[in-house]
């Protein structure tokens, strides 16, 4: 597919060809557009609002202002509230902090995974009890 055909598809989705697509070389534009569209645009198993909140959390941790702006705008477009946006960023902050802490202290990974499995079993049991009581 030539550049103009790719641009036409992009125009149909966005109403314009964003400049970052114009920076791509002819040899990769079709591949990059197909991948972008499949991952960022097309419906998937995770609803779009939640995909954008995930993207925003990643953008916050990687400190990419382009991605933060993009994913915030799209999260709002797909119905995310101010509270959901804040929660996604706060969750990312917490996860990144715990990652730094656990990795920096070199906490025993095998013990960690056993404890997570044990905690999940406990919560699963409590959930079953609650369902039986309801």
77 pLDDT higher than 90:
yes
Q: Rounded to whole angstroms, how far apart are CA atoms 49 and 55?
A: 10
Q: Rounded to whole angstroms, how far apart are CA atoms 125 and 70?
A: 40
User: Which of 13-22, 64-73, 125-134 is the least confident region?
Assistant: 125-134
Residue 38 near residue 13 (C-beta atoms within 8 A): no
Q: Rounded to whole angstroms, how far apart are CA atoms 26 and 115?
A: 50
**Residue 31, φ and ψ in degrees, nearest 5:** -60, -45
Q: Rounded to whole angstroms, how far apart are CA atoms 112 and 109?
A: 5
What is the distance of C-alpha 34 from the center of its chain?
A: 18
Q: What is the pTM of this model?
A: 0.87
Average pLDDT over residues 94-104: 97
What is the distance of C-alpha 82 from the center of its chain?
A: 17
**6 CB contacts (<8 Å, ≥6 apart)?**
21, 29, 30, 33
Residue 17 near residue 10 (C-beta atoms within 8 A): yes
């Amino acid at each position: 597919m030539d550049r103009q055909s790719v641009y036409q598809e992009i125009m149909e989705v966005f109403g314009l060809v964003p400049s970052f697509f114009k920076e791509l070389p002819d040899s990769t534009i079709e591949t990059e557009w197909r991948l972008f569209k499949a991952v960022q645009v097309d419906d998937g198993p995770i609803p779009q609002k939640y995909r954008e909140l995930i993207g925003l959390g990643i953008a916050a941790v990687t400190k990419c202002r382009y991605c933060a702006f993009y994913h915030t705008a799209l999260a709002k477009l797909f119905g995310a509230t101010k509270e959901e946006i804040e929660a996604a960023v706060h969750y990312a902050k917490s996860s990144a902090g715990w990652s730094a802490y656990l990795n920096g202290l070199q906490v025993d990974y095998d013990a960690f995974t056993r404890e997570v499995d044990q905690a999940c079993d406990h919560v699963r049991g409590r959930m079953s009890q609650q369902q039986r009581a309801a």
